Amino acid sequence: MSSKTVIAQGHGVLGIELGSTRIKASLIGPDSKSIAAGSHTWENQLVDGVWTYDLDEVWSGTQACIADLQKDIVDRYGAELTNLAGIGVSAMMHGYLPLDDGDRLLAPFRTWRNNITGEAAAALTELFNYPIPQRWSVAHLYQAVLNDEEHLSQLARMTTLAGYVHYALTGRFVIGINDASGMFPVDTATGTYYTAMVEAFDQNLSSRNFSWKISEVLPEIIPVGEEAGVLTAEGAALIDPSGRLKAGIPLCPPEGDAGTGMVATNSIKVRTGNVSAGTSVFAMVVLEEPLSRVHPEIDLVMTPDGHAVGMAHSNNCTSDFDAWIRLLGEAVSAMGGDASPDRLYGTLMPLAIGPDADADGGGLLAYGYVSGEHVTGFSEGRPLFVRNSSARFTLANFLRTHLFSALGAMRTGLDILTDEEGVKLEEIRGHGGFFKTPEVGQKIMAAATNTPVSVLDTAGEGGAWGMALLAAFMKRPDRSVDLPSYLDNVFSDSIGRPMKPNPADVEGFQTFFRRYTAGLAIERAAVENLPAE
């Protein structure tokens, strides 16, 4: 079946992911390969001390992404997208979207990037004896309680961004288990929210006389592979106001970008691991057994099919590096050169692993803390570059240092899993923008983790494609096939050979990492003495 026929007969499956910097759409055929794609660039905003996105931009951005997909289909196949076999929606995990009984937003969307719930996260971690990161929805909810925020009297439901979009498209207030596990702790034995923790939370709030209980405001968890509603006429108009896309298309459970990253790298089996690296970076390892104790720095989330995952999450990865590349691009433009992104990244990034770069970055130091970083103890961040007079200040070392720094906080968390808990990693599969330039991100990541790193051909677009795979899994003819078996068939020949870590690079990163850890006091001084605005 040709791609044009797949599109014309409605056999394609669409994955949509609302990521930190881009909204992406991936259309796949019955063979799980990409047929067409669309994207739209957007940015979060710091408003009154809160990292957020305006919900109007959620819809205008998604519409622009779908329009870009439709244009790609017209240009490549002379067709238009009107019907689909399935749709899946993914987005940034965690965060807080509180709604009233009329589905009106009660407070600005508080994203994963905010480190403003430290008091709540610490209290809930103690209450549950379970790590509750600051990004989690329940931490935001409890912090609102501690702050006596007025909107809580009107609260009817809360959800994530993926859950919100899915609800608007289908009218069903549901969520996938991976995204749910970033809202409230989920029991691996039952696939539902931990009953004892639900009861403990409600008991803790009983004296406040709210009209709601936590179980009433959380979305229902729908297992992977099940249908989670159909696209309504109103939903179709929301994402494709041109009217071409028909209502009635089934949707799978909405998921978080951590889950789609696991799917897009086929990293859902025990002892497999993957790293998603872009605006943020997180390493995820599917656990063989529970961790020995609570580690506030480690998220305990789930694979889309419900297995426990240890996640070392860093709020900051490439944002500051990208800002420096743009600055260097301005210099190139001022001299009349080609400053296109492909030219800049393709030319500059390889210098970081070239012969002119010192293994440890030449003694330079950087912190790409655009926002706070919970793993290293920062509620706010200040992007920072510093050197002493004896450091080798070269372009190659400058670039290498910023790439190393992008992984510094993640490495802090990963050490807890590997050194303190003895978690074994045989291979890491990477995806995200960090890996777009061939070999560079792969080699830097291998040095930072001392683990072989493989990268897929779809590394830069993995999330939307991973969501499309989950939607396709919903339509599998043989219902007895489980998700690992399904993905093994999809990935039979598409994962590249892992790049082994170079011992000299590993030693160089270790030297840099000691400098990075010791220099956190410099970053703290910058936060304390340089106002945010």
What was the pLDDT predicted at 432? 80
Tens-digit pLDDT string for the chain (533 aa) = 899 999 999 999 999 999 988 999 999 999 999 999 999 999 999 999 899 999 999 999 999 999 999 999 999 999 999 999 999 999 998 899 999 999 999 999 999 888 899 999 999 999 999 999 999 999 999 999 999 999 999 999 999 999 999 999 999 999 999 999 999 999 999 999 999 999 999 999 999 999 999 999 999 999 999 999 999 999 999 999 999 999 999 999 999 998 998 998 888 988 788 898 888 898 999 998 889 999 988 989 999 999 999 999 899 999 999 999 999 999 999 999 999 999 999 999 999 999 999 999 999 999 999 999 988 999 899 999 999 999 999 999 999 999 999 999 999 999 999 999 998 888 898 888 898 888 999 999 999 999 999 887 655 557 899 999 999 999 999 999 999 999 999 887 666 688 999 999 999 999 999 999 999 999 999 999 999 87
358 and 328 share one domain = yes
- pTM of the entire structure? 0.84
Instruction: Say what the pLDDT of residue 50 is.
Output: 93
The answer to whether residue 482 is domain-embedded is yes
List, for residues 34-45, the tens digit of each pLDDT value.
Answer: 999 999 999 999
Answer yes or no: do 481 and 508 share one domain. no
**Burial grade of 23 (CB within 10 A; 0-12, 13-18, 19 or more):** buried
Task: Give residue 148's domain range.
Answer: 94-159+184-217
466: domain CATH number is 3.30.420.40
Looking at the chain, the whole-number percentage of residues with pLDDT higher than 90 is 84
Q: Give the chain's domain count.
A: 3
Residues 323 and 348 in one domain: yes
pLDDT in tens, 373-405: 988 999 899 999 999 999 999 999 999 999 999
Tell whether 3 is covered by a domain: no
- Give yes or no for a contact between 33 and 39, defined as CB atoms under 8 angstroms apart: no
Q: Would residue 351 count as lying in a domain?
A: yes
pLDDT on residue 460: 52
Q: Is residue 427 part of a domain?
A: yes
Q: How would you list the strands of the sheet with 308-314, edge to edge?
A: 298-302, 308-314, 281-286, 273-277, 428-431, 453-455
Residue 124: inside a domain, yes or no? yes
Q: What is the C-alpha to C-alpha distance for residues 79 and 203, in angstroms, rounded to an integer? A: 57
Q: Which two tokens stand for residue 494?
A: 């598409």
In a domain, 306, yes or no: yes
How many other CB atoms are found less than 10 A from the CB of residue 518? 10
3-state secondary structure of 470: helix
